[in-house]
Amino acid sequence: MAASRVKPYHVRTKGDRQEIDLLLEGEDGKILAFEFKASSAPSAHDARHLLWLQGLVGDQFVAGAVMHTGPDVFRMSDRILALPIGTIWGA
């Protein structure tokens, strides 16, 4: 995805049933998706919209992350991680 142009999106379905804070789509159709949470301990509930997107687009979904205020990195499901917001800045 690094060699292609990336388009940023915010996704919200009709009736606000699903919402994804940041979706990055490469020219090749590959997708990275991010949810940003004020919680320091994200739960499976916080990843539900990323899981919905992964099921919808299949192999186009490269990875997703729930960005949170806590210190820990952990796997939430296949191709979805919980990451501290500080990782954006390399902290």
Residue 20, both tokens: 């994804």
pLDDT, residue 89, reads 86
pTM: 0.89
Q: Say if CB 28 and CB 1 are below 8 A apart.
A: yes
How many folded domains does the chain comprise?
1
pLDDT by 10s per residue, the chain, length 91: 455 699 999 999 988 889 999 999 999 999 999 999 999 999 999 999 999 999 999 999 999 999 999 999 999 999 999 999 999 887 6
Nearest to 66 by CA among 31, 32, 89, 90: 32
pLDDT, residue 1, reads 46
* 10 domain residue, yes or no: yes
* 81 domain residue, yes or no: yes
Q: Say if CB 1 and CB 19 are below 8 A apart.
A: no
* 43 domain residue, yes or no: yes
CATH number, domain of 69, equals: 3.40.1350
* 21 domain residue, yes or no: yes
* 34 domain residue, yes or no: yes
Which residue range forms the structural domain that includes residue 11?
6-89
* 1 domain residue, yes or no: no
pLDDT, residue 88, reads 87
